[in-house]
Amino acid sequence: MKKSLLLPFVLYSSLFCSQDMEELKELILQQRHTIEELKQRVDRLENGQRGTAHEDHHEHETAAESAHSKPGPLEIALVANMSVLARNIGNESYADYSIPGFIDSAGEIPFNPNRGFNLNYAEIEFESRILPDLELYSSLHVEKEALHIGELFAKSGVLGYGTSIKAGRFRSGFSRQNELHQHGWSFTTPPLVYESFFGYGALAEDGVQLQYKRGTEASTLVGVEALQGENERSFGSRDRNNLYVAYLRDNFNISDSAYLLLGVTWMHGRSAEGVTNIYAAEARVDWKLSAEASLEWENEVLFRDRESEERGGMYTQLLYNVGEWGTGVRYDRLFENGANLPEDLDRYSAMVVYKPFPFTKLRLQYTYDRSKFFNSERRDVSEILLDLTIEAGGHEGHSGHNH
């Protein structure tokens, strides 16, 4: 035998005589087994056998279930809001405004309280899906001298059939306007009737909520809530839970590019001032004018009946959006204001908004307000405001959106 043929034989023999022979054999067997599995799978797929397809589907389902059962990532978003403001009423006087029959004293004004520059707040939002049917959400409101919990709740769809249950501190779901955070509002101030009945913080309470939702775009929403009732302007007793809310909203398609939303609400609470009932109705029409343009007309009216005192208010607003630009007008009015009190408590607002980036909003707004009194003297308020909202973070979440 030639030396050239003997050399591979010697090398081969010495390799298998080495102490690594067993490890090498095991590796070769593993590779051979893998290759055989792949060949069998390819053959079965080519032959259209159901067994392999079912096995593949089962493997995918198992992997998906394993991933779905793990807690989701903790997503964090930061929202900053600041403004520059011109107003014909001084800061000290404005901080103590009143609206006869509705607000005795303004108290804290969290947004744009001062003429000149305002660093209004930073909002930190946390969201995570703990289990497939359990979501945890929190919104912390950071101001210059204060930190408070805007919302902190757990939400679950474990009951199924389109239902969800929420527990913790949250904004009542009786209307889209109430659910939105300040940086999600179309205007820099809440509707005048919201400001009068609930304050700038809207109706946000500790409690539980049960909702049923059918469909997606054309949906029916039914909700009931049991809340603590700590809102001082309309309820205000913290001795026990005393506020109950029920609402129904439904969407109706009126064309291929437009739909109508109608909703009704009833709130019932009891405090030291007696029994309070609030009745609300809303109507909204959305038109999709083109791929980038839309028109929205929103209306809402609220009545409050507390012992012998009856109050009411409404707003109507029209919004037009196209691409990065938007504009809108809103009219607010308070009525059912009692004897010897002004009947024309109203406010006019107009705004233009520009969104140069997806999470940045620059808004210019003019407001003419005839609802406010200062030291028992009625004065018309004129205000021009330019505010900037910047959002940074990893989720679309609840920030400025419905929960």
Please give the C-alpha separations between residue 280 and each of 175, 211, 330, 400, in angstroms, as whole numbers.
9, 18, 18, 22
Q: Please give the residue that has the higher pLDDT: either 290 or 201.
A: 290
Angstrom distance (rounded) from CA 212 to CA 215: 10
Q: Domain residues of the chain, as ranges?
A: 26-68, 71-393
Under 8 Å between Cβ of 391 and 183? yes
pLDDT tens by residue, 137-160: 999 989 888 888 999 999 999 888
Give the pLDDT mean for 376-395.
90
Give the pLDDT mean for 60-80.
69
Please check the confidence at residue 96 and state whether its pLDDT lies above 80: yes
pLDDT at 342: 78
pLDDT at 144: 80
pLDDT at 231: 87
Collapse the DSSP code of 298 into the 3-class scheme (helix H, G, I; strand E, B; otherwise coil) and give the result. strand
Q: In the CATH scheme, what is the code of domain 71-393?
A: 2.40.160.10
pLDDT at 132: 85
Residues near 256 by Cβ (< 8 Å), separated by ≥ 6? Answer: none
pLDDT at 232: 84
- At residue 124, what are phi and psi to the nearest 5 degrees? -110, 125
pLDDT at 108: 79
Under 8 Å between Cβ of 383 and 85? yes
Collapse the DSSP code of 239 into the 3-class scheme (helix H, G, I; strand E, B; otherwise coil) and give the result. coil
Angle, CA of 237, 242 and 245, to the nearest 5°: 125
Tokens standing for 246?
């029920």
Beta strands at 204-214 and 220-227: parallel, antiparallel or unpaired? antiparallel
Nearest to 88 by CA among 347, 384, 381: 381
Under 8 Å between Cβ of 227 and 244? yes
Predicted confidence band at 266 (pLDDT cuts at 50, 70, 90)?
very high
Collapse the DSSP code of 322 into the 3-class scheme (helix H, G, I; strand E, B; otherwise coil) and give the result. strand
Predicted confidence band at 107 (pLDDT cuts at 50, 70, 90)?
confident
pLDDT tens by residue, 17-56: 444 455 545 655 565 555 566 566 656 655 554 444 444 4
Give the pLDDT mean for 275-299.
95
To the nearest whole number, what is the mean pLDDT of the chain? 83
Q: Please give the residue that has the higher pLDDT: either 248 or 274.
A: 248
For residue 237, give the DSSP letter: -
Angle, CA of 201, 281 and 188, to the nearest 5°: 35
Give the pLDDT mean for 252-269.
94
Q: Is the dihedral of CA 165, 169, 172, 178 positive or negative?
A: negative
Under 8 Å between Cβ of 370 and 380? yes
Tell me the residue type at 146: A
Share of the chain above pLDDT 70, in %: 78
> Could you tell me the pTM of the whole model?
0.79
Beta strands at 116-131 and 309-322: parallel, antiparallel or unpaired? unpaired
Tokens standing for 157?
């769809």
